[in-house]
């Protein structure tokens, strides 16, 4: 049996949907059920925390503190993080340190881990490496991947330059717990069109594009009652204000229900009440995407809910236009609105996509398979 220390930024944050947190929970739970000893070191966050396990150590400085700190405070925080991690490692000797989604962990703390003499495995599940390590550079000179797990071939290709000679890596896509996200029969209603957005409310998720598309749909779809449910917690007040102002300016208040944060286990009931999941994630600077293997798309496919998705690298490895989704190819509200309308007007295609999506999950994105492959890879690294 292995002893594994997970290090990540956010973990078990109540009412905040995020694919990285969901996958981290799944892997921790799966490894524990197989008899491995697992502990988690993560950020201490605001008051909105689920903390039911003694194996969770909230000892790292939360990301919102870094952004507000002065230079001397940053130095103090870094020293404190290193000291608390050192104390944890003095009492718990893991075989592996498993680093997931470190976007909110200080770079010096991550670098310090290289010096503790414990095998370190990185999981690259989205563009946190580029965004955190070197947002204004073309590459990160300090990053060296000896052992790595990628959840899409696109992320593997973009990070191949950091794999050191003799490195070991594997691609393991995200998995879905189909006991939670069960297939539900969906069909387009003649009287209404119920859209849903689920995800972190940050600019690159493209919710502003969807809200603008709602204005177009409002004018074009008069024969159905149109509504959009938004599930997610805003990461920045400025972006939330922009969205709410746009909703008001476009007079969409009656069409949009802003639910806010929802516990992950409650997401299925919202998907079951909807007709389409809209995934409008956009490209960022440098014509890059942040997505890897989006959990919300997989969960919707498992639930039989058709997806209208912005086709970007990573997403295109999961779904295919007119087979397992309806694809959108530009960050354009007009195109997004047109593709939503197209699916709404084609009930036979809608049913085909619903059934095909569920089959894809059964074939390629099983929860147990993700855990098994992760366990095998970690064990192989530990015994190398």
Local confidence pLDDT in tens for the 384 residues of the chain: 999 999 988 887 666 667 788 899 899 999 999 999 999 998 876 545 555 566 888 888 876 665 555 556 677 888 888 999 999 999 999 999 999 877 777 777 877 888 888 999 999 887 665 555 544 555 555 677 899 999 999 899 888 888 988 899 999 999 999 999 999 989 887 789 999 999 989 898 999 999 999 999 999 988 889 999 999 988 888 999 999 999 999 999 999 999 998 989 999 999 999 999 999 998 765 556 678 899 999 999 999 999 999 999 899 999 999 999 999 999 999 999 999 999 999 999 999 999 999 999 999 999 999 999 999 999 999 886
In terms of domains, do 11 and 146 share one?
Answer: yes
Half-sphere exposure of 232 (CA within 13 A, CB side): 24
User: Is 187 inside any structural domain?
Assistant: no
Q: What angle do CA 215, 268, 296 make, to 5 degrees?
A: 65
Say which residues have a Cβ less than 8 Å from residue 382's Cβ, sequence separation at least 6.
2, 95, 96, 119
In terms of domains, do 287 and 360 share one?
Answer: yes
Say which residues have a Cβ less than 8 Å from residue 45's Cβ, sequence separation at least 6.
10, 13, 58, 62
User: Is 182 inside any structural domain?
Assistant: no
pTM of the predicted structure, to 2 decimals: 0.90
In terms of domains, do 117 and 17 share one?
Answer: yes
Four-point Cα dihedral 143, 149, 153, 156, nearest 10? 10
In terms of domains, do 238 and 378 share one?
Answer: no
CA 25 – CA 11 distance, rounded (Å): 7
Q: How remote is the C-alpha of 118 from its chain's centroid? A: 27
User: Is 75 inside any structural domain?
Assistant: yes
CATH number at residue 33: 3.40.50.2000
Residue of 145, 228, 198 lying closest to 22 (CA atoms): 198
Domain extent at residue 91: 3-175+366-382
Contact 259, 291 (CB under 8 A): no
In terms of domains, do 275 and 355 share one?
Answer: yes
Contact 112, 82 (CB under 8 A): yes
> What are the strands, taking DSSP E only, across the chain?
3-7, 37-43, 56-60, 96-100, 120-124, 145-150, 163-171, 192-198, 225-231, 256-260, 276-279, 307-310, 326-328
In terms of domains, do 78 and 197 share one?
Answer: no
């Amino acid at each position: 049996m292995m002893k594994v220390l997970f290090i990540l930024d956010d973990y078990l944050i109540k009412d905040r949907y995020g694919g990285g947190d969901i996958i981290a929970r799944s892997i921790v739970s799966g490894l524990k059920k197989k008899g491995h000893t697992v502990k988690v070191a993560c950020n201490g966050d605001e008051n909105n925390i689920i903390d039911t396990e003694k194996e969770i150590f909230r000892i790292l400085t939360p990301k919102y503190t870094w952004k507000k700190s002065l230079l001397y405070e940053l130095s103090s925080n870094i020293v404190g993080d290193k000291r608390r991690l050192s104390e944890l490692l003095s009492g718990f000797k893991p075989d592996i340190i498993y680093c997931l989604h470190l976007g909110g962990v200080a770079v010096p703390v991550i670098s310090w881990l290289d010096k503790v003499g414990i095998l370190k495995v990185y999981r690259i599940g989205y563009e946190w490496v580029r965004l955190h390590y070197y947002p204004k550079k073309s590459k990160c000179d300090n990053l060296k991947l000896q052992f790595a797990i990628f959840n899409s071939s696109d992320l593997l290709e973009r990070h191949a330059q950091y794999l050191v000679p003799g490195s070991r890596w594997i691609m393991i896509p995200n998995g879905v717990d189909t006991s939670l996200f069960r297939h539900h029969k969906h069909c387009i209603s003649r009287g209404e069109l119920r859209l849903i957005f689920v995800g972190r409310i940050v600019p690159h998720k493209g919710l502003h594009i969807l809200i603008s598309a709602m204005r177009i749909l409002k004018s074009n779809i008069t024969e159905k009652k149109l509504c959009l449910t938004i599930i997610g917690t805003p990461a920045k007040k400025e972006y939330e204000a922009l969205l709410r102002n746009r909703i008001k300016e476009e007079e969409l208040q009656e069409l949009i229900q802003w639910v806010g944060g929802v516990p992950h286990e409650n997401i299925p009931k919202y998907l079951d009440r909807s007709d389409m999941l809209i995934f409008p994630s956009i490209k960022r600077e440098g014509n890059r995407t942040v997505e890897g293997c989006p959990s919300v798309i997989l969960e919707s496919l498992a639930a039989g809910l058709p997806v209208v998705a912005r086709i970007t690298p990573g997403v295109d490895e999961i779904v295919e236009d007119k087979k397992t989704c309806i694809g959108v190819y530009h960050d354009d509200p007009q195109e997004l609105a047109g593709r939503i309308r197209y699916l709404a007007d084609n009930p036979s295609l809608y049913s085909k996509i619903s059934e095909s999506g569920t089959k894809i999950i059964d074939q390629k994105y099983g929860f147990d398979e993700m855990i098994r492959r992760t366990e095998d890879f970690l064990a192989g690294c530990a015994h190398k």
